[in-house]
Structure 1
Amino acid sequence: MTETDTPEPAKKPRFTSLEIGLITIVSLFLIIIVILIIVFAIQSNNVCTTADCTQSASRLIENMDATVDPCDNFYQYACGGWLKKSIIPEAQSKYGLQNILKGNMEVILKGDSVLEKNVERESPAVTKAKTLYKSCVNNSLIERKGGAPLLDMLPDIFEWPMAVDNWDNVYGKTWRLEDVIARLNWKYGTEVLISFFIRADDRDSTKHIIYFDQQMSFGLLSIDYYSCRGRFAEACRAYEQFMFDLAKLIRTDRGLQINEADIRAEVTRVVNLEKDIASATDFQRRDPALLYNKMQLSTLNRIFAFEVDFQKFNWTYYTAKIMDTVNTKVNDSEKIINYSPSYYGKLKNVLAKYTKRDVQNYVVWRFVMQMVGELSQVYRNTKNVFLKVLTGKASEDALWRWCALYVNGNLGKAVGRLYVQEAFSDNSKELMEEMIKDIQEVFISNLDDLSWMDEETKNAAKDKARAIRARIGYSEDIMNDEYLDNAYKDLSYSGEEYFQNVLQNLEYRTKKQLQKLRRKVNKNDWFFGAAVINAFYSASLNEIVFPAGILQPPFFNKGQPKSLNYGGIGMVIGHEITHGFDDNGRSYDKDGNLKNWWTPESTKNFLELSRCIASQYSKFSWDLANGLHLNGNNTLEENIADNGGIRQAYQAYKKFVKRNGKEPLLPGIDLSHDQLFFLNFAQIWCGSYRPQQAVISVKIGIHSPVMFRVLGSLQNFPEFAKAFNCKKSSNMVSDNVCRVW
């Protein structure tokens, strides 16, 4: 018998099925207990876990840099994460939250349900918007046309001398400056040498009147660039090259000979003329009352006449040429408002140095330099090279983005309707109305605490603050087909003729303004579109406007904590209200009329406090702008509004909490709601600049660069330091707090 292995007996199971079932039940019970403990802990800590709260917390954490001491540099603390991860797109010279929101809006406008969607039986006005968009994105046709659309219409404005032969004998013999700049104004929407427009009379906001002002814009943006030295030399050379290349390109397309020396000589004279005009302008005008000079056209002819090649400029003839286009007659007795007596006095001496050919070269140049962007790529490139040097932009926007913005800018009511239908909720209006009321009440109650303002002026200020009207979202009229169609009844676009559509828009927009002269001001009309990411204050209407486009996160969201809403759109509300009492807005009364409702003592104190803010911001220097100091005078109105806005919004939020109780905290971010208020305020201004744009912002910007909007307003607000427990020696605590409102 052979030996065999004896099999081992089977092992007994570690747990019976009954025991396993009991363990499973116990485990589930323990899990439930843990979940309940977590829920209880969350409730005990009062943490908000809704989708809106978690998204808000995630955004705030992602954009901030918690390694920075908030009391040292709150802008870096709030925006360090954003600055690290964000790259300025090649088509932008600066980039921030508003660019992102605008980009998102462009996507909505482009979408299959908006400008690119065909809908049966839609409003003709909406169809016109889509036709204009179609013509704009038809790039192949634009390329085939080249520069022909511009070249074909130049004879209508007496041609561009450096781009055509024999100008002096063909066009110069019948040339008259009034004819040229009048046509550029009414037909082509270009104001050069003279700014002419119709607006509500500053002293009677129910009536329209003609205004004359100095030239408001320049190819090189500010007088500093025309020195052509130092940091401005490259931009100056690029500007001259832009003009030279464009004139040369037009002559080439016309089959004309090119004498580069002659063209460069004319370019030099044009730039010198523009420099002289810029030198005659006043860039530091602060007092609206000093600008208001009411007179008859006959007075302009008697006191402010100038000559070009012995041709005397006739102001009445010039005005009549413009107003005849809308069948409105004017004569020597027509009353106008002259905003710039000093400029017109200097312009006489400037133009005396130049020939009519020089002047014609300049005025047409200012037109063609704008229109070149609507032509084929080879024409656009002449401008793109210049813009890259001037602003740092390395490329153009995507065509569809440019076109969506262009259509929105010209048919804002029709596009606004499409945007509202696609992306806006009317539920926002009620909460906005509540916030506006809260912040208005805070502004009014704060007046009682101002020791620098006497009772008489305080009472008038309260009346004005109470009279401010608010417009939220959009005008209901744009949802009415009849209203919308009537608004654009005079427009007729072709999907094959983009350049002609552009010219039509220029003429239409100008004539709509000119037609107002003999009409009463309609104070119920909306002057802004709905698809706009901005907010506004109108002094003549004494109203604040918050279009639908800005009523979105992080500015505003019905589901996000109120601390974020008050730090976002709440600050904007306070900012716009304060504009009614800034260095300019304070000169207008509750009915929108230019009127001195201040006592001399209160005026003196206001100006002294304003100088404090101007001086404070002028001390900020910016490394990105080659160490340039900000211009606190240029940005004074906006700085006053920022400082007032943050104070009022914060106080209104504290009243909200007192009325409704503390809000649940946000998950994952160890900050109180007072701190979150300031964090969201700062993150609204997260942004980057190219060095070239930084210089431009300092030189001509009416807003302080975004970093200094945050730092300046918070250094002047002690409640910020209190919220973050900042020591007196901290950078965010100012030794000299400036406060107006």
Structure 2
Amino acid sequence: MQSMTTEETPITAQPGEPKAFARTKRVKVVLVLLGVFLFAMATGLGLHSLRNWNSPPGLPSSANSRAAPLPCHSSACLDAATRLSVAVDPFSQPCDYFLFTCGSSGATRGRQRGKGTGHLSTSGEGERTTRREDRRRKTENDTLADRLPDRQTLLLQSIKNILETAVGLRPPDHLEEKARQFYRSCMDKDSIESRGSEPFLKLIQQLGGWSALGWWNRTDFNSTLALLMGQYGTFPFFSVYVGRDPNQPHNTSYIQIDQPHFQIPTEWDTQSQTSKANTVSLRPFLFSSLQYLTLLGVPSMTRLMHNGLYIALSSELAKESSPLHHRLQTNRLYQKVTIRALQTLAPVIDWLGCLEATFHPLPISKSDYVLLHNLPYIIHMSDTISKWLLRKEMMGRVPIQTYMILSLLQTLLPALDSRFRQTQRNLSVALGNMEEEEPRWKHCIRRTERGFDQLLSHMVRDRAAHEEADELVRNLYSSVQSKLADLTWQDEDSRNSVLKRVKSLTPRFMAHIDKETLAQLYSEVVISEDSYFSNYLQSLLLERKRRNQLFSHQHLQSDVLSVTPLLSGRNIIFPTGMFLPPLFHPSYPRALNYGGLGFMMAKDLLHLLLPDIHTQSGSPESVGGCVWSQYISVTEGPGRMGAFSLSPSQKLEVWVQYTALQGALQAYQNSLQQHQSDTSLLDFVHTHLFLISFTQISCDPYPYSQLMTFEPSFLVSVICANSDVCPSRMTCRKKTLLEPGSC
């Protein structure tokens, strides 16, 4: 046996001691030392394994905690746990789960519409696909039923919860209570039904009556028009709004005047360059207007006459309207004229009086400029009204007044009983609109937002603005920048140009209005919980105030129903409504926030920053093709991998969503590097919980999934095949789901 190292004391036999005994003693000492060494090695390996076991995959051990993540017990987490408890764990059913489509969402519809890009484009393939889908249908339906709705619906549900939750004992004139009262009055269908058409008929009396009902004080045409425009947001003969002039460098706001949205269905005649009533749609339109007259109590003996005159005037006014593409070709947009010049061009309208009423209390003068978007129509409209006003009594002012009354009815129709709304719905269906009518609660939230947008934005912000949201935005934007830097660019100039632009942008949350300004804005608003019609009229005045704010450079965007980021100058604006449960909560495990909302935000950022990335980089095409080939290898077998191809837009979307998932995961890992801890949910931790969160929202159809040829949750299997971040290999009994690749 070799001697010990120089640092160890040699063992030698003592004088008089037998040699055999000495050898035995040396062997025992060596064995003891060897046992101690092996025990120490085993203990060290055990501790190292335990630390890695409690660590999120893909992170260096120095960043991980030795203790297992604590479970989250907040009320928001308990709700999330209830939702996830019935969800499918992608690592427990890897054989079938990632082959599903998104049911009736845009992804499936997009694939069925596409020709030559999906499975249904080859002979016999449809039959095999049908058999395969039949085998999966029950499991798929159960799985998709557990998915979260699209982002817009989730936001509306969150706002619904805010409006329906009472906050202590607050006086009726409290700002937030005004929005809640408006919403409740909209939801009170019994009260609305019981009033019928009475509120609208009372309003007609206040406007001076109506000849169709037998009484009319013959109010001046322009005074009635100014009242409709100023008090009731109704623009019968032309539309008025505020906007910028794209031809000017100084983003000055101007009054914009355009052709109105005609109720009568028209079609464009390319030969005569005029619009005419659509003969196929004219009959249901005539029936609907006749039905409105009936509901308003117009006597049968005069009903047909008023309806006929209304149709005739509508048809004549619409002749000079034209579609946008024609106005673009003929340079009819953004024609700048003064109000004084407009008065000369279209003299029948008292332009200064009508615009003063529309923008009260803002000062308007004849020297102010307005932008016209169809001057030939404006001139034709003025001439037409002049001719009708000069005709005999039967054909004179009566049709003009009826036209204005029925235009007002269209504005106020949502506040009337179901008979009016059903008449409108019947016409919409007859004209080919087969979309389902949205639930009443959604309609009432959208109506509340139109009048109380800034107040509602403030209410949402109070519940959504958190430091955790700010951290999510920062980490995600940094991760997206690093992904863009890794792309293969066509040349160095393209790379530098894009990266410089992305670096110059600043992510921000949507600006909000302080409470003082809110109080001033809504101080004069009086809401009655038992009269939706009067509340509706109040909301029209609030819309006028909002329109007036557009003239101010300090106007703050408050689109509370927005669910995607937008570019504004050098800022990327993130709406606060994005950061609400169930997509986001500050008490959630960060894996839940990053895996769901983080993925969707990364996807939106890539679309926002690089709308034409395919012209500057080859990465989208190569990565999209690689992921598609992996999908084909699983669904059809290796022999079919070259049988199908994706369009450029589909390859781009596959790249966007795969890169977004990678970027969101990288952002989450960076977050763990910074904080070195995260909570758990249902014993799911870190990357495992991150990927489960992603699969719950990957069917969100808003707004790009129609380009995906497979359900995005399949990307989990690609992530697991191309990296070591997953908690386990995704294997089936027969074969590995995907062989390791390099997409």
Shorter-chain TM-score tier: 0.5 to 0.7
Is 2:662 aligned against 1:650? yes
Written as runs of structure 1 = structure 2, the 5 A alignment for 1:409-420 is: 409-415=450-456
Q: Assess if the C-alpha contact under 8 Å between 1:187 and 1:507 holds in 2.
A: yes
1:147–1:376 Cα contact (<8 Å) kept: yes
User: How far apart are residue 713 of structure 1 and its match?
Assistant: 11
Residues 581 and 49 (structure 1), Cα distance of their counterparts in 2 relative to 1, 3 Å cut = same
Give the letter for the 1:265 counterpart: G
In the alignment, the residues of structure 1 paired with residue 424 and residue 683 of structure 2 have an alpha-carbon distance, to the nearest angstrom, of: 50
CA-CA distance at 1:328 after TM superposition: 0.2
Structure 1 residues 718 and 375: CA distance shift in structure 2, 3 A = closer
Gaps of 5+ in 2: 1-49, 58-67, 109-136, 269-274, 389-397, 625-648, 723-729, 731-743
Which of 231, 241, 262 is equivalent to 1:187? 231
Counterpart for residue 466 of structure 1: 504
* Residue 396 (structure 1) shift: 7.7
Structure 1: unaligned runs, 5 residues or longer: 1-38, 89-94, 584-601, 614-635, 686-702, 727-741
Which residue of 1 is the match for residue 580 of structure 2?
Answer: 551
Q: Residue 501 of structure 1 aligns with which residue?
A: 535
Alpha-carbon distance in structure 2 between the residues aligned to 1:344 and 1:273: 16
The answer (yes or no) to whether the contact 1:372–1:379 under 8 Å persists in 2 is yes
Q: How does 1:200-219 map to 2 (within 5 A)?
A: 208-215=252-259, 217=261, 219=263
1:488 pairs with 2:529: no
How far apart are residue 368 of structure 1 and its match? 0.9
Amino acid at match of 2:469: M
Match of 2:170 in 1: 119
Instruction: Tell me the SS of whatever aligns to 1:251.
Output: coil
**2:669 aligned partner, one-letter code:** V
Alpha carbons 1:567, 1:677 under 8 Å: kept:
yes
Is residue 61 from structure 1 mapped to residue 88 from structure 2 by the alignment? yes
Shift of 1:330: 1.8
Q: Tell me, yes or no, if structure 1 residue 345 matches structure 2 residue 389.
A: no
**Closer, same or farther: CA 499–511 of 1 in aligned 2, 3 Å:** same
Cα pair 2:256 2:371 within 8 Å, conserved: yes
Once the two structures are superposed, residues 559-589 of structure 1 have per-residue CA deviations (whole angstroms, 9 ceiling, x without a partner) of 2463763443442355257446659xxxxxx
Establish whether residue 365 from structure 1 lines up as the match of residue 431 from structure 2: no
* Residue correspondence of structure 1 range 3-82 to structure 2 within 5 A: 50=71, 52=77, 55=82, 57-58=84-85, 60-61=87-88, 70=98, 73=101
State the distance in 1 between where 2:429 and 2:537 align. 26
Give the distance between the partners of 1:397 and 1:85, measured in 2 at CA: 24
The amino acid of 1:102's aligned partner reads L
Q: Which residue of 2 is the match for residue 280 of structure 1?
A: 323
Q: How does 1:160-309 map to 2 (within 5 A)?
A: 163-164=212-213, 170=218, 174-176=220-222, 182-199=226-243, 208-215=252-259, 217=261, 219=263, 238-252=284-298, 256-259=299-302, 261-266=304-309, 268-269=311-312, 272=315, 276=319, 279-282=322-325, 293=334, 295-297=336-338, 301=342, 305=345
Shift of 1:508: 2.9
Equivalent in the alignment of 2:366: 331
Question: Residues 334 and 371 of structure 2 are in contact (CA less than 8 Å); yes or no, is this contact kept in structure 1?
Answer: yes
CA contact (8 A) 1:75 1:710 kept: no
Compute the displacement of 1:648 (Å): 4.5
Q: Residue 600 of structure 2 aligns with which residue?
A: 571
Query: Using the alignment, how far apart are the partners of 1:495 and 1:215 within structure 2?
Result: 36
1:326 Cα deviation from its structure 2 partner: 1.1
SS at match of 2:376: helix
Letter matched to residue 150 of structure 1? F
SS of 2:574 mapped into structure 1:
strand
Amino acid at match of 1:148: E
Note if contact 1:439-1:649 (Cα within 8 Å) is conserved in structure 2.
no
Give yes or no for contact 1:196–1:212 (8 Å, CA) kept in 2: yes
TM-score (normalizing by structure 1)? 0.59
Could you tell me the TM-score, scaled by structure 2's length? 0.59
The C-alpha deviation readout for 1:79-110, integer Å capped at 9, x for no partner, is 9779846999xxxxxx8564355345424422
The alignment covers a number of residue pairs equal to 576
Deviation at 1:708?
Answer: 0.6
Work out whether residues 154 and 160 of structure 1, in 8 Å CA contact, stay in contact via their aligned partners in 2: yes
Match of 1:684 among 700, 705, 711: 700
Q: State how far apart, in whole Å, the 2-side matches of 1:568 and 1:269 are.
A: 53
Task: Tell me the CA shift for residue 146 of structure 1.
Answer: 2.8
Alpha carbons of structure 1 residues 560 and 279: separation in structure 2 relative to 1, 3 Å: farther
Name the CA shift for 1:711/1:271 in 2 (closer, same or farther; >3 Å). farther
Structure 2 counterpart of 1:99:
153
Cα deviation, 1:366-421, whole Å, max 9, x if unaligned, reads: 431231221234444433444566655777845x7755654454234545566666
Taking the aligned partners of 2:721 and 2:262, their CA distance within structure 1 comes to: 45
Q: CA deviation at 1:246?
A: 0.7
Residue 24 of structure 1 corresponds to none
2: CA distance, partners of 1:261 / 1:640: 57
Instruction: Label 1:446 to 1:99 Cα distance change in 2 as closer, same or farther (>3 A).
Output: closer
Counterpart-to-counterpart distance in 2, 1:447 and 1:208: 35
Deviates more, 1:97-106 or 1:276-285: 276-285
Query: Equivalent of 1:150, from 200, 207, 213?
Result: 200
- SS class of match (1:470): strand
* Segment drifting more, 102-111 vs 574-583: 574-583
- Aligned sequence identity (%): 13
Please tell me the residue identity of whatever aligns with 1:248: T
Q: CA RMSD in A?
A: 5.8
SS at match of 2:228: helix
Describe the superposition over 1:630-673 as per-residue Cα deviations: whole angstroms up to 9, x where unpaired: xxxxxx9x99999757745632433543674799998799x977
Gap change, CA 1:526 and 1:393, over 3 Å in 2: closer
Is the CA contact 1:568–1:684 (under 8 Å) kept in the aligned structure 2?
no
Q: Which residue of 2 aligns with 1:433?
A: 470
Q: Which has the larger radius of gyration?
A: 2
| Partner amino acid, structure 1, of 2:706 | F
CA contact (8 A) 2:595 2:694 kept: no
Q: Aligned to 2:575, what secondary structure does the other structure show?
A: strand
CA contact (8 A) 1:133 1:407 kept: yes
